[in-house]
Amino acid sequence: MPWKEMCTMQQRLEFVRLAEQEGSNRRELCRRFGISPQTGYKWLERAASGVEDWVADRSRRPHASPGRVSGSVEDAVLAVRDAHPAWGARKIWHVLARAGQDMPAPSTVHAILARHGRISLPARPPATGRFELPAPNLIWQMDFKGRIVLQDGRQWCHPLTVVDDHSRYALCLQACDNETGATVQGELQRVFRRYGLPEAFLVDNGSPWGNGPAGGWTWLGVWLLKLGVDVIRARPYHPQTRGKNERFHRSLKAEVLSLQRFRSLGDMQRAFDRWRHIYNCQRPHQALGFDVPASRYRLSPRPMPDRLPKIDYAQSDIVRTVGPSKPYISFKGHLWQISKAFMGERVALRPLSKDGRYGVFFATKKIATIDLNNPPKQPQ
């Protein structure tokens, strides 16, 4: 018979005390306590290690979670959430882990809840007060740190930065020679292959991920949506919404850019690489209780796919294809304009709560609204 459930810790303490007595027969002691010799010697080894809480159970969380989460794990997560609707991903993770369930990372639990409609990512972080997501890889903040002239006075550097919202871990600090979407996509592909995919990006409304204060879509944002990465736009003219990235830029300026000028992009990149390691692994961070970002960051369980996933829609969806040369879809006898970034892509129309109003969705992201009560002027 294994340890009795209600007095496990006391039995372990008693077993160790008796086993350490001179002349004790440890195998016989294991038999009397109803445990295997392997279990008995395991607790003797932990007791001798000097660790203060050696008698407590250790986490059964796996070191890695390759592949897709099993259906039984998803069912268990949803069952706990339905029983306790106010509980978040971390509470659910701890409850199931204590019950002996092999669990993925808390960020994956959050993704399961979001995927099944139990919770949703915030439209944007609040403008006041400190906002922090409960686990890594839920939101990454991305931006360019302006532009810096090199020593020759003719060439410019455009530092691309990506910071994890939860841990403040710097995932990318790249010395780029431009701010084009192609450059950003190339760097993100490298970052995704190393760290995996986030649930969402928080960006401003400018190029290349935005199209001005109105928050128009670009092909880079569409590419991210195809990867299953949401794009959250910050409030126009409110850089504090992306406070962690802005704070990272201040540190970068104070600790690298203000100290020297660089002869080439290569020189600047080498300085960036050195400082990124210091920032992630050595530099105490006040917002983290003077710990380092690396202590809180974990790789995303969502790997970068070899090919862009195909977007499938439900049978109940009304599916239309945006024109390949003009950004319109046909619905209810009218042509409705869609962002040029979606030309040639399939979108779904779903009725909203109000009569005559439909949402236009690309995958799970609503990209436009159709109001049949106010049809648009038709293109010439």
* Confidence category of residue 66, pLDDT binned at 50, 70, 90: low
Is residue 185 located within the same domain as residue 277? yes
Look at residues 245, 264, 295 and tell me which one is the last residue of a structural domain.
295
Residues 41, 49: contact at Cβ < 8 Å?
A: no
Is residue 162 located within the same domain as residue 279? yes
* Ranges 36-50, 216-230, 231-245, 347-361: which has the least confidence: 231-245
Q: Does a structural domain hold residue 64?
A: no
Q: Does a structural domain hold residue 62?
A: no
Is residue 153 located within the same domain as residue 280? yes
126 has pLDDT over 50 = no
Look at residues 264, 295, 326 and tell me which one is the last residue of a structural domain.
295
Residue with tokens 């202590």: 295
Q: Is the dihedral of CA 267, 269, 274, 275 positive or negative?
A: positive
142 has pLDDT over 50 = yes
Is residue 79 located within the same domain as residue 42? no
Distance CA 51, CA 54 (A): 5
Question: What CATH number should be reported for the domain holding residue 265?
Answer: 3.30.420.10
Question: With 0-12 CB in 10 A as exposed, 13-18 as middle and 19+ as buried, what is 298?
Answer: buried
Q: What is the mean pLDDT of residues 230-234?
A: 85
Count the domains in the chain: 4
Model confidence pLDDT, tens digit, residues 318-371: 999 999 999 999 999 899 999 899 999 999 999 987 788 999 999 888 889 999
Q: Does a structural domain hold residue 65?
A: no
Is residue 169 located within the same domain as residue 206? yes
Is residue 200 located within the same domain as residue 281? yes
* Ranges 4-13, 174-183, 253-262, 330-339: which has the least confidence: 4-13
Task: Quote the domain boundaries for residue 32.
Answer: 5-48
Give the pLDDT score at 134: 83
Q: Does a structural domain hold residue 82?
A: yes
Is residue 78 located within the same domain as residue 218? no
Give the pLDDT score at 172: 94
Is residue 186 located within the same domain as residue 233? yes
55 has pLDDT over 80 = no
Model confidence pLDDT, tens digit, residues 273-329: 999 998 888 877 777 787 888 889 999 989 999 998 888 898 989 999 999 999 999
Q: What is the mean pLDDT of residues 33-40?
A: 86
Q: Does a structural domain hold residue 19?
A: yes
Amino acid at residue number 71:
G
Is residue 274 located within the same domain as residue 155? yes
Q: Does a structural domain hold residue 325?
A: yes
Instruction: Please state, as a whole number, how many other Cβ atoms lie within 10 Å of the Cβ of residue 42.
Output: 12
Is residue 195 located within the same domain as residue 342? no
Q: Does a structural domain hold residue 237?
A: yes
Is residue 287 located within the same domain as residue 326? no
Return the DSSP state at 242.
G
Q: What is the share, in percent, of the chain residues with pLDDT greater than 70?
A: 87
Instruction: Please state, as a whole number, how many other Cβ atoms lie within 10 Å of the Cβ of residue 350.
Output: 14
Is residue 178 located within the same domain as residue 238? yes
